[in-house]
Each structure stands twice: as C-alpha cells, then as structure tokens.
Amino acid sequence: MYSQVYDFFQREVLPYGDPRSKDWFLLQSNPVPVWIITIAYLLFVTLGQKFMKNRPAYDLKWFMIIYNLGLVVWSLYMVIEIPIATWKADYNFICAELNDERRKDPRELRVAAVMWWYFFSKAIELLDTVLMVLRKKNNQITFLHVFHHASMLNIWWWVGMFIPSGLSFFGSWLNSLVHVFMYAYYGLTAIPAARPYLWWKKYITKLQLIPILLQKEIEYDERGNALLDEDNKPKLRCGFRIGGGIDQDNTLSAQGYPDKGVYVTYIYENGPGHKAGLQQHDKILQVNGHDMTVVTHKKAVEYIKRKAILNMLVYRKGVPQIPSSQQAPVYNPPQFSSPQRQPPMPHSPMHRPDHNFGRNSPMHSPSRHYQPASPGHHSGFDRSSFDAMQAKPY
C-alpha cells in the first residue's frame, strides 16, 4: 500500500513541484521528513507530559531569552525581506502571476528563498510546545495550539514545494509581523527586570483573532443514560459559560469587562470548550457565521445552542484571571463499566452557556466569588431560570 501511494506521488504529484525549490532542505521532493518531524512532535507532546508529571519543571530562563529573541530577529528579517523581494518582482496585492515564465525570472528566486525561510521557521517554532512541556505549562498546551503548529509545518511544505511565490507572500508576511511582537514579549517576560515595562501586553492579541472549532458532547446522568431535551433528542453540552450582551450592564461583571460583548466566563476542564482550546475571558465575535458583537444575551444563547458543532471566532484579551481556588469545577466524564449505580456528578450546566451574575447566582453576591460545586449542589445556578431566560448575566 505504501509503495503504491509513494509511486503515485512520485509519478503524478512531484512533476508539478517548483524546479527552483523542490530540492531545498526539508522540501527535498519528499514529504516524509516533515511527516517524521510531525509524528515526533506529537509523541513528545503526549509522552513528554506524562514523563514530566512527577518531575520538577526545568528552569530554562536563559534558553527562553535566547530562543524568543532569536525568533524576533528571524521574524523581523522576513517582515523586511518579503515586501522588498515582492516589490522588486513587481508584485501587487490584487494579482501576483505565477507561471513557468515567471519562475525563470531571477527576481522570483529571492521571493522563493524568503518563503523557504518562513517554512523552515515553522519547524523551529515546534520548540514552543517543547518548552511548555519541559516547563510544565500544560495549561497552555491546548488542542488548538498543537494543531496549529503541526498543521502549519505540513501546509507550508506544500507551499514551499509547489508555490513558493505568488500571493503566498501576504499571509506569511502578516504572520511574521505578529511574531515579532509576540516573541519579543515572551523573551522579555523571562527577564524579571523587564516585566514592569511590558504594559503593551494587552495589545499583542489584538493582532490575532482565534478560530475555534468546538464539537459538543452528549450529557449523561449518573447511571450512564443520555439526557433528553424537550424534543426527545440527546442534550448536548458545550463545556463553557457566557456572560454579556448589548442588553446587559457590563459594569456589574465580576471581571470588569470593558464593553457589552459576549464573554466566556468559565471553562470546565475536560469539557468540549477546554478540548477545543477556548479560554476563560475570550470574547466571542462569531458563532457559525452569526455576528456576536451586537446581540442580546438571549440571542447569543440561541446561537450557541442551535447546532452541535460551533465554528467560532474569538478575541483573546488581557483580562485578569480568576484565582484557581475560585475556578469552575473539573468535569470528569463518568465511566459506565458496570450496571451498578455510579457516584453522582457535580450538578453543572456544562451543556449550556451560563446566565452569569443572576439573582440566584453566587456571582451576584458582593464578594462576587464563584464557589465550586459539590456533588448534588446547584452552586447557585438555576437550570429552570436558564430555560426560561430569566436569570441576568450581569
């Protein structure tokens, strides 16, 4: 089977490779080296966290400084070189023609070269996750993070192999610009004396809008039976709670949200939201194509509940984090290996977004502290008020 696939690839695909770049390092007219790197990366992420579980985190301060500031220089080179190379090759933002005649133009070789450097940087940036594993920053290793790094290396193998010029320059330039600021911040945070001057942290993520693909999960009772909704269909949970909307007073929010947007107020560990890479305080901009920036809270809930798969666009801001002692409870799906009655789960509304800060919610108290739920306890969240749309988010 492998030989047949390889023969087909050699016969039907490789002849279309760009003759200038197809034999360059890591392209080499063969995707196998990149596949090996990707598999090794995924194995390290999985096994490395288990290896580090009972070991102290490594102190990699000096390596972090050198690594991140090195990537700043690398990204800055591409930010400067890409527009210079494309300008000299007579590119424009509307059409950058690429054909056999253009490939013979020596000016195009300079564009192809900087595209290769961008591709190679995706291999180096896999160390982002390696450092997280060694420093035991497992909360930062989300599915979205790992998927992004693994897929970017493979996607850019195809770009470098077949179209290392043309309009592929624009996305790489924009990403390099973001990385200049991002890696500068990461490098400087490793220097204690520089931390008081990183006031611009909150502006970094304004350069990035984050796509989230969330698959809801069926909710079960303590006996392992799927719960049903009013239409006799399985109830689905999304694993997060929301607050906000244009009809709400954001000044009453516990975290001091700056506007009337819709925000993720809690993420339940091991739930669909956590697995998809959603984070507490993300501002939801879109859900399945619906604009969430100027909607009421009721309409936001309606959009989120409508489909089993949520294709979301979020904006990650520098909002203060709730201390871990006040975080929402960890959700561990029950195991139904025997017909015996299982211990009750925490009574949590993970399958629905939350109407936070309602009259019956502990977030409405003067302390505004969320108390983790205990088995059989509603933790101040009234399901009937959610269904009736009575509780207020703020």
Work out whether strand 309-315 and strand 210-215 pair parallel, antiparallel, or are unpaired.
antiparallel
Question: Does 98 or 121 have the greater pLDDT score?
Answer: 121
Cβ atoms of residues 352 and 305 within 8 Å: yes
167 Cβ contact list (under 8 Å, min separation 6):
95, 96
pLDDT of residue 156: 94
> Same domain for 283 and 178?
no
> Same domain for 168 and 291?
no
Is the residue at 310 inside a domain? yes
216 Cβ contact list (under 8 Å, min separation 6):
236, 237, 238, 272, 308, 309, 310, 351
Is the residue at 339 inside a domain? no
Is the residue at 1 inside a domain? no
When divided into structural domains, the chain yields a total of 2
Q: Would residue 347 show up in a list of annotated catalytic residues for this protein?
A: no
Picking from 161-165, 194-198, 250-254, 346-350, which range would have the lowest pLDDT averaged per residue? 346-350
pLDDT of residue 138: 84
Is the residue at 263 inside a domain? yes
Determine the distance from the C-alpha atom of residue 158 to the mean position of all C-alpha atoms in its chain, rounded to a whole number: 23
> Same domain for 373 and 266?
yes
> Active site residue: 145, 148, 347, 377, which one?
148
Domain that holds residue 218: 209-320+346-387
DSSP H or E segment with residue 231: none
pLDDT of residue 111: 92
Question: Does 342 or 164 have the greater pLDDT score?
Answer: 164
Task: Please give the Cα distance from 66 to 334 (Å, whole number).
Answer: 45
> Same domain for 194 and 252?
no
State the CATH number of the domain containing residue 239.
2.30.42.10
Name the band, by pLDDT with cuts 50, 70 and 90, for residue 317: low
Is the residue at 294 inside a domain? yes
Residue 13 to residues 16, 152, 158, Cα–Cα distance (Å): 6, 20, 11
Q: Which of 179, 206, 233 is the last residue of a domain?
A: 206
Work out the angle at residue 183's Cα, subtended by the Cα atoms of residues 177 and 187, and round it to the nearest 5 degrees: 150
Which one, of 185, 210, 226, lies nearest residue 313 by Cα? 210
Is the residue at 131 inside a domain? yes
Tell me the average pLDDT of the chain: 78
Name the band, by pLDDT with cuts 50, 70 and 90, for residue 199: confident
Highest mean pLDDT among 3-17, 129-143, 333-347 belongs to 129-143
99 pLDDT above the threshold of 80: no
Q: Which of 162, 188, 206 is the last residue of a domain?
A: 206
> Same domain for 161 and 269?
no
> Same domain for 306 and 202?
no
> Same domain for 111 and 235?
no
pTM here?
A: 0.58
Name the band, by pLDDT with cuts 50, 70 and 90, for residue 216: very high
Question: Does 256 or 202 have the greater pLDDT score?
Answer: 256
> Same domain for 201 and 217?
no
> Same domain for 198 and 240?
no
Query: Stretch 237-260: mean pLDDT, rounded?
Result: 86
Question: Percentage of the chain surpassing pLDDT 90?
Answer: 33
Q: Which of 206, 231, 265 is the last residue of a domain?
A: 206
Is the residue at 332 inside a domain? no
Question: Does 125 or 342 have the greater pLDDT score?
Answer: 125
Task: Please give the Cα distance from 331 to 307 (Å, whole number).
Answer: 22
> Same domain for 80 and 155?
yes
pLDDT in tens, 148-191: 899 999 999 999 999 888 888 888 998 999 899 889 988 888 88
Name the band, by pLDDT with cuts 50, 70 and 90, for residue 129: very high
Name the band, by pLDDT with cuts 50, 70 and 90, for residue 327: very low
Name the band, by pLDDT with cuts 50, 70 and 90, for residue 201: low
pLDDT of residue 255: 77
> Same domain for 259 and 153?
no
Name the band, by pLDDT with cuts 50, 70 and 90, for residue 71: very high
Structure tokens at 15: 């002849």
> Same domain for 192 and 296?
no
Residue 237 in 3-state DSSP? Answer: strand
DSSP string, 307-341: -SEEEEEEE---PPPPPGGGSPPPP-PPP-SSSSP
Query: Stretch 144-149: mean pLDDT, rounded?
Result: 87
Is the residue at 285 inside a domain? yes
Name the band, by pLDDT with cuts 50, 70 and 90, for residue 14: confident
